[in-house]
Structure 1
Amino acid sequence: MTELLIERHGPVAVLTLNRPQAMNALSQSLIRSLTAAVVALGRDETARVLVLTGAGERAFSAGLDLKELGATSGLLGMVEGDGERPNPIHAIAQCPKPVIAAVNGVAITGGFELALACDILIAADTARFADTHQRVGVVPGWGLSQKLSRIIGPSRAKEMAFSGRFITATEASAWGLVSRAVPAAGLMADVMALAQEIAEVDAGFLTDYKRLVDEGYDLAFGEAMALEAERSRRHNGALAPEDLAARRAGVQAKGRAR
């Protein structure tokens, strides 16, 4: 069975982790396939938006395949991804295209980290999230200990990190962990509608805007504001008035249609 399914819907590429019998756990082969696919689609000019989801209804991903780990000593090879080692988290972070996580079920530990690597998270109302590193005695290596506190605050992040408690999609939405929780039956329809809408935007603009948000997030606020000002001057100064007028008319027409 193919562990990673890739479907194209015009400018939207859907990547599905396809190990439902193992709750879409990340085997070494799946990690390699996913990393390679994200890198390749990032270079593909016909792909404008990527969607990442899991097969079945139970799981987005249960994280690293602990059964496989128990039979090997490959933990560092699976997690760190330095040099020759593939790392899907780095691949998603470096992808110039927007990546949307359609969280269809549980996202646990490494699967949680995989979801957090995406630019936008939309969850089924049946989805749940948990950091279970403390239960298996493994220190996070894909950013969970640092990213989560910056998204939901240190108190809530520590609650999850120290207890291993699962939070619901409703809690995740209230905490700002996901953009929104939607009925499970309509998850992919909602995500695909958003992806198609994003795909209408100029690809170069999306790449630059994603880079601006990500680079600014890593800076102190004052430095981030200076970065925005510099990029704004450089980009906006090159805009032709007639192009700006045409785009403004398009936005107004779209607003009236709604």
Structure 2
Amino acid sequence: MGKPVLFETKEGIAMITLNRPEKRNAINRELLIHLYNYLDEVSSNDKIRVAIITGNGKSFCAGLDLSVIETENLFDPRGDGKDLPDVIEDCKKPIIGAINGHAITGGFEIALNCDFLIASERASFADTHAKVGIHPGWGMTQLLQQAVGQRMAKQLSFTCQFIGTEKAMQCGLVNEVVPHEELIPRAKQISTEICAVNQEMLGVVKDLIKYKNRVTLQEAFAHEREGFRTFARKFLKHSKAFQKKV
């Protein structure tokens, strides 16, 4: 049996692959420990600029492994008080979800915590918290409505029904749908484009977008404008100093 999560890096891109295909990549404690550790590596490694999360086999992630939910600590797997939203929040690098198959409940939440999603034509999504009687905890009730709107989120979470890629595109859940064999190449192509931009300003832009989640539109707008004024003052000061030198 191999590692429950695979990790490789190349040219600034980290590939994180959930690797329990025989269990449809269902979440157990060992998988979470590896996933969190690799996300920490993405966060701390200056050579890594972007990460892709995908699944091995026919599923992206089938959610919690119900066979171990009573015997394994899935809510604080490393004993450091951090779970998925905390670890992803700590990672300032962009994270792309490359959804290769079913993303169900906890697996759907992993996808929703990514910055955006590229989906294989074989992907599908379902929130079954209400069906299996498990309380959401990784952002389902907040991130899903943020992605698709409150009314659509209610329908998906109340009915626990699967939606395919056509519906996922229509409601804004995924950015792109591609043929299955093109999923990882497309995710890597986008990652390469991200690697080519100004990394400092990329981090600023990501933080500004996320800032809107905590405040009103007016406050977020004012925060961006104040940041621009600070940037402009520094830019002009640097420009004048450069002109004096030449």
Q: Counterpart amino acid of 1:149?
A: Q
Q: Counterpart amino acid of 1:163?
A: T
Q: Structure 1 residue 93 and structure 2 residue 93: aligned?
A: no
2:120 to 120, 124, 141: 124
Q: Structure 1 residue 211 and structure 2 residue 207: aligned?
A: yes
For residues 22-171 of structure 1, what are the structure 2 equivalents within 5 Å? 22-56=23-57, 58-70=58-70, 72=71, 74=72, 77-79=73-75, 84-171=80-167
Q: Verify the 8 A CA contact 2:108 2:127 in the aligned structure 1.
A: yes
Tell me what 1:200 maps to. Answer: 196
Q: Verify the 8 A CA contact 1:216 1:227 in the aligned structure 2.
A: no
Measure the CA separation in 1 of the matches of 2:46 and 2:151: 42
Q: Counterpart amino acid of 1:45?
A: D
Measure the CA separation in 1 of the matches of 2:126 and 2:97: 16
Q: Counterpart amino acid of 1:59?
A: S
Residues 239 and 3 of structure 1: CA distance in aligned 2, closer, same or farther (over 3 Å): same
Larger fraction in helix:
1
Q: Structure 1 residue 182 and structure 2 residue 178: aligned?
A: yes
Q: Verify the 8 A CA contact 2:49 2:195 in the aligned structure 1.
A: yes
Unmatched tracts of structure 1, length 5 or more: 244-258
How many percent identity over aligned positions? 36
Q: Structure 1 residue 9 and structure 2 residue 5: aligned?
A: no
Measure the CA separation in 2 of the matches of 1:155 and 1:27: 32
**1:81 Cα deviation after fit:** 6.9
- TM-score norm. by structure 2 comes to 0.91
Question: Any idea what SS the aligned residue of 1:67 has?
Answer: coil
- TM-score norm. by structure 1 comes to 0.87
Unmatched tracts of structure 2, length 5 or more: 240-246
Question: Any idea what SS the aligned residue of 1:84 has?
Answer: coil
Tell me what 1:226 maps to. Answer: 222
- Aligned CA RMSD, in angstroms, stands at 1.9
